[in-house]
Amino acid sequence: MNLHRRDFLRATAATAAALALPRIASARARPHIVVVGGGFGGATTAKYLRMWSEGAVDVSLIERETAFVSCPMSNLVIGGLKKMADITLDYERLRSNWGVRVITDEALGVEPGRRSVRTARHGEIAGDRLVLAPGVAFESARIEGLAGNEERIPHAWKAGPQTAILRAQLEAMPDGGVFAMTIPRAPYRCPPGPYERACVVAHYLSTTKPRSKLLVLDANEGIIAKKALFERAFARYGTMIEYRPNSTLLAVDAATCEAEFEFERVRADVLNVIPPMRAGELATRSGLALINDAWAEVDWLAFGARGMPGVHVIGDAVFPAPGMPKSGHMANQHAKVVAAAILNDLAGLPPNPTPVVMNTCYSFVDDRAAMHVASVHQYDAAKAQLLPVPGAGGLSEEASVAEGRTALKWAYHIWADTLE
Amino acid sequence: MAAEGGYTRTAGAALAQRSIVLRPHGRSIEAIRTMKNRLLASAFVLAGAVAPAQAADPHLARNLAATCANCHGTGGRSVYEPLVGRPREKLLSMLADFRSGEHEATIMHQIVRGYTDEQLELIATWFSEQR
Ligand SMILES: Cc1cc2nc3c(=O)[nH]c(=O)nc-3n(C[C@H](O)[C@H](O)[C@H](O)COP(=O)(O)OP(=O)(O)OC[C@H]3O[C@@H](n4cnc5c(N)ncnc54)[C@H](O)[C@@H]3O)c2cc1C
């Protein structure tokens, strides 16, 4: 059953690591890679660096939290279908199976010249290469009245205490109450996520508080992912879900639980504001080159940060290539490209000139049925970008219970591939 | 919410097993080769390296196979949908059937179309050689 442990033992018993990476052995005994952020991107990078190097490189993973709480499936917790414990994992197997040095600390910034990361409690940690996977930061300050009131008006867009708060608010809501959620303009983390949340919240309300109302106030011109499928899913809840596009949130009032838009003011019993996002604070603190002053600029062969040799950025924090979603699946795929590129580089080889990444995102529409969107992205040398392959990927024809099961298996697999 | 040591597998397994009422094209090979060679050549010129240009990355098959891990487990070692150690021909014929639609699927028919035949062969060979 413990497949990964077996894998690791096999790997360490294999031919001497020096054979696989001759340059490393001669240049210095043990290269050290420092990864910041133990989410889907960073944790996968740490594991694959250890696995693919057969233990020949040391890996430190700096993560501020002691637990890994999965955003994927966290909407099910909000809808009352799962518990926090079901989506809460830890870093133990990264340590025991793969020998990753997991450091619980806050990274304060990068010193690109010294190739090191400044931390709150462990001083400066230097590496031969740095990989930054800080996820997203929430721009609460762009919505008047929101900053400092995130417990009263939770986003629950980073799974953890916020998820539990929103669930508790929904449970406390009276029958006949109003649950209002706001969606920021794209790009944001997990394009179909807000619409999935609307569905599972509506499912909960329809079974327990059927006189309630769910307002979905979207800054975009329309549903931005799986549109036709979500329109059908919303319709199944009759008049309970009211979807309003072109609704840009301007201000909130935490005392009265009101939200102000250009043309209307909404009062809610539960107000779930998903704020605009940008690359995690670490990107700004480290002086990374940003596109639109928000997302890190990288090359698509090695995810190298522009203008910072030896520093790589992956996951939600990067400015996406065309058609590339900000997803856990995609962050996990970025991780494998960057791990391979770093190990090549340490061995004196160029990065793989033909990387491929792929994505699937499942969304639940009720307590059992889900639907997917999938894509495969190949490197286009002329455009120097990872681009979706035309004619590949696509959507479910409709949400189904069979895909609901697949969605749960997907979570099981990606958690294991990332953390075990 | 605090996770105890050794919680990981339990959380994942529990989610997949109980729950929610549940049981659990493209470019021509030639074009890709040319692209590869061009890229490699320019990389070596830039780096001023003397190493001879290679046809492809030495870890190409491993890297491609790793794109499958999110649903088939690290190294294809999923307990549900394992790929590890399965015969190459069997894997290739399944992939071909997904592509043609002969083998009905919820998602694989869409994913398989994103890979070239050469890439699928590398992936199938890699999994078949894993133990
Ligand atoms: C409700 C919801 C549902 C979703 N559903 C899906 C889904 O079904 N499928 C899917 O593929 N994706 C889904 N996503 C998206 C997915 O969660 C993200 O795309 C993914 O988490 C991105 O991975 P990442 O590694 O870039 O960032 P994260 O997973 O956010 O990881 C970043 C990590 O870095 C740490 N960190 C940040 N800054 C510092 C610092 N300075 N010092 C130390 N540590 C730091 C954070 O604590 C965090 O652990 C969903 C998201 C949400 C919100």
Beta strands A107-111 and A129-132: pairing type? unpaired
Asked if the Cβ–Cβ distance from B16 to A412 is below 8 Å, we say: yes
Q: How many residues does chain B have?
A: 131
Indicate if A271 and A173 belong to the same structural domain: yes
What is the pLDDT at residue A21? 38
State yes or no: pLDDT of A88 exceeds 90: yes
Q: For helices A401-419 and A40-52, give the axis angle rounded to 10 degrees.
A: 60
CA atoms within 13 A on the CB side of A81: 28
Residue B18 in domain = no
Residue B57 and residue B122 in contact, taking contact as beta carbons nearer than 8 Å:
no
pLDDT computed for residue B21 by the predictor = 27
Q: Which domain holds residue A169?
A: 142-276
Answer whether residue A416 is part of any domain: no
Q: Is residue A110 part of a domain?
A: yes
Whether A55 and A132 map to the same domain: the answer is: yes
| Interface membership of B15 toward A (CB under 8 Å) | yes
Q: Are B112 and B123 in contact, with CB atoms under 8 Å apart?
A: no
Q: Is A222 within the bounds of a domain?
A: yes
**Which tens digit of pLDDT belongs to each residue from A241-296?**
999 999 999 999 999 999 999 989 999 999 999 999 999 999 999 999 999 999 99
Interaxial angle between packed helices A3-13 and A40-52, expressed in degrees from 0 to 180 and rounded to the nearest 10: 40
CB count within 10 Å of CB B54 equals 15
At A287-336, the pLDDT tens digits run 999 999 999 999 999 999 999 999 999 999 999 999 999 999 999 999 99
- Measured between beta carbons, the chain A residues lying within 8 angstroms of B70 are 329, 332-333, 360, 410, 413-414, 417
A131 and A12 in a common domain = yes
Name which of A86, A92, A351 is nearest B14 (Cβ-Cβ). A86
B112 and B52 housed in the same domain: no
Q: How far, in Å, from the CA of B116 to the mean position of ligand 1?
A: 31
- Rg of chain A taking only CA atoms, in angstroms: 22
Mean pLDDT within A374-393: 97
Q: Do A52 and B114 touch (CB under 8 A)?
A: no
Rounded to a whole number, what is the distance in Å from the CA of B29 to chain A's nearest CA?
Answer: 12
Whether A234 and A154 map to the same domain: the answer is yes
Residue B12, in any domain of the structure:
no
Interval A174-188: pLDDT, tens: 999 999 999 999 999
Identify whether residues A104 and A74 lie together within a single domain: yes
Residues A146 and A272 in one domain: yes
The closest alpha carbon to A316, from A74, A69, A141, A138, belongs to A138
pLDDT in tens, A1-25: 333 433 333 333 333 333 333 333 4
Same domain, B35 and B76: no
In a domain, B11, yes or no: no
With contact defined as beta carbons under 8 Å apart, do A328 and B35 qualify?
Answer: no
Report residue A241 as tokens: 């879900």
* B121, B69: one domain: yes
One domain for residues A253 and A149: yes
Q: Which residue on chain B is closest to A333 by alpha carbon? A: B67
Answer yes or no: do A168 and A259 share one domain: yes
d(CA A29, CA A114) in angstroms, rounded, equals 19
Q: Are residues B49 and B92 located together in one domain of the fold?
A: no
Residue with CA nearest ligand 1 atom 8? A72
* Cis previous bond, A353, omega within 30: no
Residue B71 lies in a domain: yes
pLDDT in tens, A98-150: 999 999 999 999 999 999 999 999 999 999 999 999 999 999 999 999 999 99
Of A303, A284, A290, A294, which is closest to residue A131 (Cα–Cα)? A303
Shared domain for B32 and B66, answered yes or no, is: no
Query: For A77-90, what is the mean pLDDT?
Result: 98
Q: Are residues A271 and A149 in the same domain?
A: yes
Statement: residue B10 has pLDDT above 50: no
The single-letter code of the amino acid at B6 is G
Q: Are the C-beta atoms of A242 and A213 separated by less than 8 Å? A: yes
Q: Are residues B120 and B72 in the same domain?
A: yes
The answer to whether residue B91 sits within a structural domain is yes
Residue B69 lies in a domain: yes
Give yes or no for residue B32 having a pLDDT over 70: no
Tell me the CATH number at B92.
1.10.760.10
Do B30 and B71 lie in one domain? The reply is no
Arithmetic mean of pLDDT, B20-36: 34
pTM of full prediction above 0.80: yes
In this structure, is residue A358 part of a structural domain? no
Same domain? For A245 and A208 the reply is yes
Percent of chain A with pLDDT over 90: 93
Distance (Å, rounded) from C-alpha A224 to C-alpha A404?
21
How open is the CA angle A241-A244-A249, to the nearest 5 degrees? Answer: 115
Residues B79 and B120 in one domain: yes
Please state the atom number of ligand 1 nearest to the C-alpha of residue A68.
49
Q: What is the mean pLDDT of residues A146-165?
A: 98
**Which two structure tokens, joined as six digits, stand for A365?**
């529409």
Q: Which of the two residues, A263 and A342, has the higher pLDDT score?
A: A342
Dist CA A270 CA A95 (whole Å): 40
Query: Does residue B47 lie within any of the structural domains?
Result: yes
At B59 the three-state DSSP class reads: coil
Two structure tokens written together for B46: 């830039």
Q: Of A176, A220, A217, A216, which is closest to residue A198 (Cα–Cα)? A: A216
Q: What is the pLDDT of residue A28?
A: 53
Residue A402 has a pLDDT of 97
Please report the pLDDT score of residue B56 as a whole number.
Answer: 83
Q: Is B102 strand, coil or helix? A: coil
Q: Answer yes or no: do B88 and B120 share one domain.
A: yes
Q: Residues with beta carbon inside 6 Å of ligand 1? A: A 36-42, 62-65, 71-72, 74-75, 106-107, 133-135, 157, 189-190, 193, 280, 282, 315-317, 326-329, 331, 361-362
pLDDT value at B1 more than 90: no
Same domain, B40 and B100: no
Q: B84 and B108 share a domain?
A: yes
Q: How far is the CA of A88 from the centre of ligand 1 (A)?
A: 13
Do B31 and B88 fall into the same domain? Answer: no
For position B48, what pLDDT does the model report? 36
In-domain check, residue A378: no
pLDDT tens digit string along A21-73?
333 344 457 999 999 999 999 999 999 999 999 999 999 999 999 999 999 99
Average pLDDT of A376-395? 97
| Count of domains forming chain B | 2
Are A365 and A201 spatial neighbours (Cβ–Cβ below 8 Å)?
A: no
> A417 in a domain, yes or no?
no
Q: For A380-415, b where at least 16 C-beta lie within 10 A, e where not — what string?
A: bbeeebbbbbeebbebbeebbbebbbbbbbbbbbbb
Crossing angle (nearest 10°) for helices B7-17 and A401-419? 170
- Which tokens go with A84? 């926090």
Whether A201 and A183 share a structural domain: yes
Q: What's the pLDDT at B29?
A: 36
> How far B17 CA lies from chain A's nearest CA (Å)?
8
Using 50, 70 and 90 to split pLDDT, how confident is the model at B55? low
Using CA atoms, how far apart are residues A355 and B63, in angstroms rounded to an integer? Answer: 8
Structural domains in chain A (count): 2
Residue A229 CB neighbours (<10 A): 22
Whether the Cβ atoms of residue A279 and residue A134 lie closer than 8 Å to each other:
yes
- Cα B101 to Cα B93: distance, rounded to the nearest angstrom: 12
Domain match, A228 and A257 both: yes
Chain A neighbours among B 18-77 (CB < 8 Å)? 19-27, 32, 35-36, 38-40, 43-44, 47, 49, 51, 56-60, 62-64, 66-67, 69-75, 77
Instruction: Please check whether residue A170 lies inside any domain of the structure.
Output: yes
Q: Is residue A418 part of a domain?
A: no
Q: Domain range holding B48?
A: 26-56
Which carries the bigger pLDDT value, residue A272 or residue B81? A272
What CATH number did the domain enclosing A287 receive? 3.50.50.60
Identify from B8, B108, B126, B131 which residue to disrupt to test chain A contact, counting A C-beta atoms within 10 A and taking the largest count: B8
Least confident of A106-120, A182-196, A228-242, B47-61: B47-61
* Partner residue opposite B114 with nearest CB, options A52, A333, A393: A393
C-alpha of residue A40 to centroid of ligand 1, in Å: 6
Of A149, A150, A231, nearest to A198 (Cα)? A231
Classify residue B17: in a domain, yes or no.
no
What is the 3 state secondary structure string of chain A? CCHHHHHHHHHHHCCCHHHHCHHHHHHCCCCEEEEECCCHHHHHHHHHHHHHCCCCCEEEEEECCCEEECCCCHHHHHCCCCCHHHHEEECHHHHHHHCCEEEECCEEEEEHHHCEEEECCCCEEECCEEEECCCEEECHHHCECCCCCCCCCCCCCCCCHHHHHHHHHHHHCCCCCEEEEEECCCCCCCCCHHHHHHHHHHHHHHHHCCCCEEEEEECCCCCCCCHHHHHHHHHCCCCCEEEECCCCEEEEECCCCEEEECCCEEECCEEEECCCEEECHHHHHCCCCEECCCEECECCCCCEECCCCCEEECHHHECCCCCCCCCHHHHHHHHHHHHHHHHHHHCCCCCCCCCEEEEEEEEECCCCCEEEEEEEEEEECCCCEEEECCCCCEECCCCEHHHHHHHHHHHHHHHHHHHC
Are A374 and B13 a contacting pair at CB < 8 A?
A: no
Q: Are B58 and B122 in contact (CB under 8 A)?
A: no
